[in-house]
A and B are shown apart, each in its own frame.
Chain A
């Protein structure tokens, strides 16, 4: 039981941290001087929202299987496959939640506008300096929203983790899968407890997001 919670939290935390690091440069690039061809990249990054999780899971399974070209690159390093591993789950979760990181970050970066960055440039801040000293602090609500969304979305995912994780206890079994298995086994009491826990968690996540947004609206000039 604790094992499942621990795997779920660990997966969500690792996914959140890695995905924020990865999505930040992408969101920044998309937010600066938008052009139509950037929207192609933005659309690709948003695909996981509309694709059925089983489709994502299927392609990831193929990509992470021992025979895939991607994995053959890793064979010299002693990695044969990432399917049905925790690392594979992290990769799958990152793909699955990518739009939930990119979108709030992109919006937050766009909301900053050009002026603060121009002001920073006239104060001798290099573009990298200005990014960390102006853009990141001014987009802090975007970072918070992205982190909360990715964490919650990862806790709530089912199809992708089922396909590429396989639900191996202690390794790749997460809460949503455990609930499914408990229901299959007609162990409704335990399923109830876990389901109620996730329900409260989801409510708290949405409440905190709304509070962040309201706070942002109040502070805006």
Chain B
């Protein structure tokens, strides 16, 4: 295999009702959104890339093999940052304890992002001393994101980090993610099924269907994403136009 930059994954295996057979290629930077109905294998794919789960196949980042027919590098030896749907903060530690846990174990030979930078980027200063039990959903995800960054990953995997949040919490965390997007120089694979999120954050969209990757956004999502990118006024105007068109075609 040539040392192509970015992430390359070929994974096959039985999972529940269908076969996962995914071929994923991602460039060395930018956010790639992975969309698709629940149960289509998005989370499984992410877990396999991180090494948390094992299916047959190959995974390589920037030409470095993490998994192929002969070897399987375990999760703790892969430079991956993972943000779980439920954040996965360590409950016996404070927010600062969680961040330190990551920093202590990070590969410091080539640090890409510093402590102060992460704290500032995600607005974590006021949360540091807090126990993980007393955080809102949005704060929890910010802490988890900061922790993942401090592990100095070369690939960031976000598994529906916002899906458990309500509208207000989403609106609160979105600016942080957008800032992250502008600052980070590493590939990010972002699982989501919210078209608005995808439209605001993603550089590319891949969709998954019954364990397979389909290039580009699924039908309907493109239009939805375009809608999500519009302001409320634009959307209202469009809806009104559609309504009028519908009415006039009837009469």
Interface set of A (CB-CB < 8 Å, partner B) = 115-116, 118-127, 129-130, 133-134, 137-138, 140, 219, 221
- In the assembled complex, the CB of A142 is this many whole angstroms from the nearest CB of chain B, namely 13
A-B Cβ contacts below 8 A, count: 65
Contact B102 A123 (CB under 8 A): yes
B81 contacts which chain A residues (CB < 8 A)?
Answer: 122
Does B70 interact with chain A (Cβ within 8 Å)?
Answer: no
Interface: B198 (CB within 8 A): no
- Would you call A127 and B91 a contact (CB within 8 A)? no
Which B residues lie within 8 Å of A115 (CB)? 84, 86, 88
Known pairs A133-B101, A134-B92 / 8 extra A-B pairs, C-beta < 8 Å: A119-B82, A119-B89, A120-B90, A121-B51, A123-B105, A123-B147, A123-B151, A130-B76
Least distance between A128 CB and chain B CB atoms (Å): 10
In the complex, are the beta carbons of B76 and A125 less than 8 A apart? yes
The interface residues of chain A, by DSSP majority, are classed as helix
* B residues less than 8 Å from A219 (CB atoms): 133
Q: Is B61 in contact with chain A by the CB < 8 A criterion?
A: no
Digitize B86-98: 1 where CB-to-A-CB distance is under 8 Å, 0 elsewhere.
1011111000000
In the complex, the 3 A-B pairs of residues with the closest C-beta atoms, listed nearest first: A119-B88, A122-B82, A121-B75
Q: Which residues of A contact B92 (CB under 8 A)?
A: 134, 137-138, 140
Question: Contact between B75 and A122 (Cβ–Cβ < 8 Å)?
Answer: yes
Q: Is A124 a contact partner of B74 (Cβ separation < 8 A)?
A: no
- B28 interfacial by beta-carbon distance below 8 Å: no
List residues of chain B with CB under 8 Å of any chain A CB: 50-52, 74-77, 80-82, 84, 86, 88-92, 101-102, 105-107, 133, 147-148, 151
Nearest residue in B to A116 (C-beta to C-beta)? B90
State whether A121 and B91 are in contact (beta carbons under 8 Å apart), knowing that A115-B84, A126-B76, A127-B76 are contacts in the complex: no
Within the assembled complex, what's the spacing in Å between the Cα atoms of A121 and B133? 21
Please name all residues of chain B whose beta carbon is closer than 8 Å to the beta carbon of A120 when the two chains form the complex: 76, 90, 101
Query: Can you list 10 residue pairs at the A/B interface with Cβ under 8 Å?
Result: A116-B90, A119-B82, A120-B76, A122-B81, A122-B82, A123-B76, A124-B107, A126-B76, A130-B76, A138-B90
Measured in the bound complex, the distance between the Cα atoms of B15 and A168 in whole Å is 63
Q: Among the listed B52, B86, B90, B106, which residue makes an inter-chain contact with A124, where contact means beta carbons less than 8 Å apart? A: B106
Collect the chain B residues with CB atoms within 8 Å of residue A133's CB.
101
Note all chain A residues with C-beta closer than 8 A to B52.
118, 121-122
Taking each of B51, B81, B82, B91, which has the highest tally of chain A beta carbons within 10 Å of its own beta carbon? B91
Chain B residues with Cβ below 8 Å from A130 are: 76
- Looking at A118, A119, A122, A140, the one whose CB has the most chain B CB atoms below 10 A away is A122
CB distance from B80 to the nearest CB of A (A): 6
Q: How far apart are the CA atoms of A219 and B132 in the complex, in Å?
A: 11
Who on chain B is nearest to A221 by CB? Answer: B133
A116 to B89, CA, bound (A): 7
